[in-house]
């Protein structure tokens, strides 16, 4: 094709420009050729286009003829650049397709695995409760053993449920069922539910109200199930990262158009370099710390769905503060 166009150039008058036809082989070459090869070809065909100004003789360098051939050379160089740009976009598209395929496979695998694991765990919990109802001479020892098994299985079930919720929210978005509720009452109920686990670790959980210090209603419109999940995850995170014998302080405050919830622990805190990634999926501070790396990520999903904000900062005297601002009127984000 290149030779045919060059032949046409040299057998026709100089005012007739066929050089634009070099675009055809350039486009075919541009799908796979390396950048150096493509630019070399572009310079070659530009040289052939300009060579027709002096070959064959006689030479007549008229202004319009020169301009036409220079414009053709510019078009050829632009085409070469666009071919390379298309190559880059094609590689990005293939890479994105590969990533999406892997992510779909991973999501399907995780969802299937989590669903299959729930059944035996639920069966174990039910059997453990049934066993605990039996009266035997060694009842005290049996009760402690059963309680330990039940807590472990319940914790595993909670992690599986978190995993399912996280992937479901990422795939379909978190859908809220908002209603008017009292955040103070919800927080009190969750504290009561997790208090047994805190006592095992010799921790105390105290709720306080900023301002007057007395109990106040903090009414807002939100999804009670998701907000309960949020508070539960924040408290469990504080329990798992607190030192034995310490205290976890939960604070509630009204900010006008929003309510602020703070969970303050006196644990080791978070390394400063880890703070930007703390609410990312599967992010864990270290391998020896408990957790799946999903709890805070799910918290961020819930808070974002309510149109709020969540952040964490270290305390000067040690420990960390997780701060959540929830608007009074829920708005799905």
Per-residue model confidence as pLDDT tens for the chain (333 residues): 888 888 887 878 777 888 888 888 888 888 888 888 889 988 998 998 888 887 777 666 778 888 888 998 999 899 999 998 988 898 888 888 877 776 765 666 566 666 556 656 766 777 667 666 665 555 666 676 677 677 667 767 766 776 667 666 666 667 788 899 999 999 999 999 888 888 888 899 999 987 766 778 889 999 898 899 899 989 988 988 888 888 999 999 988 889 999 999 988 888 877 777 777 765 555 444 454 467 788 888 899 989 999 999 998 878 899 999 999 876 544
Report residue 303 as tokens.
């808070």
Please, what is the Cα angle at 160 between 154 and 161, to 5 degrees? 85
Q: At what angle do helices 183-200 and 224-240 cross, to 10 degrees?
A: 30
Q: Hey, what CATH topology would domain 179-327 get?
A: Heat Shock Protein 90 (3.30.565)
Which SS3 state, helix, strand or coil, does residue 320 take? strand
**Domain segments of the chain as ranges:** 1-173, 179-327
Phi/psi for 313 (5° steps) reads -140, 155
Report residue 29 as tokens.
């070459």
pTM: 0.54
- Closest to 167 in 3D by CA, of 226, 227, 112: 112
């Amino acid at each position: 094709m290149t030779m045919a166009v060059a032949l046409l150039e040299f057998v026709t008058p100089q005012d007739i420009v066929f050089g634009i036809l070099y675009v055809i082989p350039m486009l075919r070459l541009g799908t796979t050729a390396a950048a150096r090869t493509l630019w070399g070809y572009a310079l070659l065909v530009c040289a052939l286009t300009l060579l027709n100004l002096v070959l064959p003789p006689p030479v007549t360098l008229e202004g319009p003829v020169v301009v036409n051939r220079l414009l053709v050379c510019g078009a050829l160089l632009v085409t070469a650049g666009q071919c390379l740009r298309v190559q880059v976009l094609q590689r990005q598209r293939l890479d994105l397709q590969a990533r999406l395929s892997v992510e779909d496979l991973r999501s399907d695998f995780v969802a299937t695995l989590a669903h299959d694991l729930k059944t035996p765990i639920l069966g174990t919990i039910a059997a453990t409760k049934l066993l605990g109802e039996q009266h035997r001479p060694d009842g005290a020892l049996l009760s402690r053993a059963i309680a330990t098994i039940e807590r472990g299985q319940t914790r595993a079930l909670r992690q599986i449920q978190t995993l399912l919720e996280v992937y479901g929210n990422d795939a379909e978005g978190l859908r809220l069922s908002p209603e008017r509720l009292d955040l103070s009452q919800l927080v009190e109920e969750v504290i009561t539910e997790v208090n047994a686990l805190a006592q095992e670790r010799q921790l105390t959980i105290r709720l306080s109200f900023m301002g007057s210090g007395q109990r106040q209603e903090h009414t807002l419109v939100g999804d009670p199930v998701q907000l309960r999940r949020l508070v539960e995850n924040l408290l469990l995170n504080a329990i798992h990262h607190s030192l034995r014998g310490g205290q976890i302080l939960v604070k509630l405050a009204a900010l006008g158009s929003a309510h602020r919830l703070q969970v303050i622990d006196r644990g080791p805190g978070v390394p400063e370099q880890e703070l930007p990634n703390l609410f990312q999926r599967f992010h864990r501070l270290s391998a020896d710390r408990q957790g799946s790396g999903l709890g805070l990520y799910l918290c961020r999903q819930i808070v974002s769905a309510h149109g709020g904000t969540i952040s964490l900062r270290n305390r000067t005297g040690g420990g960390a503060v997780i701060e959540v601002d929830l608007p009074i009127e829920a708005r799905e984000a």
